[in-house]
């Protein structure tokens, strides 16, 4: 239930705006009660006039719903892995190919700034943004120290 409450078609939330839910309420409350509720209730979205075309969430089994949400999460995790890999590999290649202190500092500053903005867009709490940006900056600063130390030799 906690993972589905963000969906637009949350199967655990009964609303008068959806056709199927309105029909269910009218069946159990009755026509007089449903009209009274509909007059006094605040509408949170547009009213559906017929059954929704996307009713697979109401008819699928629990296993099919689980599999669909797992695949959606899998694709999200693969995207995050690719993005985080690019954030680590791109500055590493740049610092190895151009072994100067200014290249290391400028690329670290730029990549940490972009990483921080990306983290702020996807994470919910400011402490999470600060923690992961600081960890990312620490990795890059260590790499700057290693590449510039080897360049001085």
Distance from the Cα of residue 102 to its chain's centroid? 35
Half-sphere exposure of 4 (CA within 13 A, CB side): 13
What value does the mean pLDDT take over residues 122-132?
Answer: 93
Q: How many CA atoms lie within 13 A of 113 on its CB side?
A: 6
Is residue 67, in this structure, part of any structural domain at all? no
- pLDDT confidence of residue 69: 86
14 and 35 share one domain: yes
Count of alpha carbons within 13 Å of 105, Cβ hemisphere only?
Answer: 3
In total, how many domains does the chain have?
A: 2
20-24, 101-105, 133-137, 141-145: which has the minimum mean pLDDT? 20-24
Q: Could you read off the pLDDT of 141-150 as tens digits, one per residue?
A: 998 888 777 6
| CA 131, 88, 111, 106 torsion-angle sign | positive
Pair 55, 7 in one domain? yes
What is the distance between the alpha carbons of residues 89 and 105, in angstroms, rounded to a whole number?
Answer: 16
Q: Which domain holds residue 15?
A: 1-59
């Amino acid at each position: 239930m906690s993972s589905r409450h963000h969906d637009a078609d949350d199967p655990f939330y009964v609303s008068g705006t959806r056709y199927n839910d309105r029909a269910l309420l009218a069946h159990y409350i009755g026509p007089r009660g449903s009209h009274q509720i509909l007059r006094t209730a605040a509408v949170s979205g547009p009213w559906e006039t017929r059954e929704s075309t996307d009713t697979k969430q109401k008819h699928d089994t629990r296993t099919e719903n689980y599999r669909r949400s797992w695949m959606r999460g899998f694709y999200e995790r693969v995207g995050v892995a690719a993005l985080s890999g690019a954030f680590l590999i791109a500055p590493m290649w740049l610092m190895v190919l151009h072994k100067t202190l200014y290249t290391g500092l400028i690329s670290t500053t730029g990549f940490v700034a972009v990483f921080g903005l990306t983290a702020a867009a996807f994470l919910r709490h400011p402490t999470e943004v600060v923690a992961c940006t600081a960890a990312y900056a620490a990795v890059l600063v260590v790499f700057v120290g290693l590449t510039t130390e080897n360049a001085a030799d």
